[in-house]
Amino acid sequence: MVRGRSLFMGDSEIDQLFYIFRVLGTPDSTSWVEVERLPDYQFSFPKWMYNEEEFRKKMHPLDEEGFDLIKEMLRYQPESRYTAKSALAHRYLQHIPSDLEPVYNLITVSNAQSNGDRDLEQEALEMMNR
């Protein structure tokens, strides 16, 4: 959202993965303990190294607090990655005006209907409270 377009713009699953790997580095057992046990993990994946300077350039004009939030949300290790609730508590989001309309209040009836019987507002609230 900061950049006005997707951070990783792959045109297939593998292309998407490689875009992620180029920015965050190819995951290994150090960055993601169980990665080598995943059914589609390939030891032959290209080995890109994490380059924070390149990542920062990609996230321009995000300030230090915003960059920290993005890094926490994009951790490979699932147990270390921010949840929606922890992301909302991050100091970067404390600067948002309190009178800003919450996203879950902006969901339209047509969006709710397109999702079948599921109540999108309730789903959003549940995700925020996890």
Q: What is the pLDDT of residues 69-104, one digit of tens each?
A: 999 999 999 999 999 999 999 999 988 777 776 665
**DSSP letters for 71-109:** HHHT-SSTTTSPPHHHHHTSGGGGGS-TTSPPGGGS--H
Q: What is the pLDDT of residues 30-75, one digit of tens each?
A: 999 999 999 999 999 999 999 999 899 888 888 999 999 999 999 9
pTM of this structure: 0.69
- What's domain 8-95's architecture? Orthogonal Bundle (1.10)
Return the pLDDT at 46.
Answer: 95
41-53 per-residue burial string, b: 16 or more CB within 10 A, e: under 16:
eeeebeeeeeeee
What are the domain boundaries of the chain?
A: 8-95, 97-130
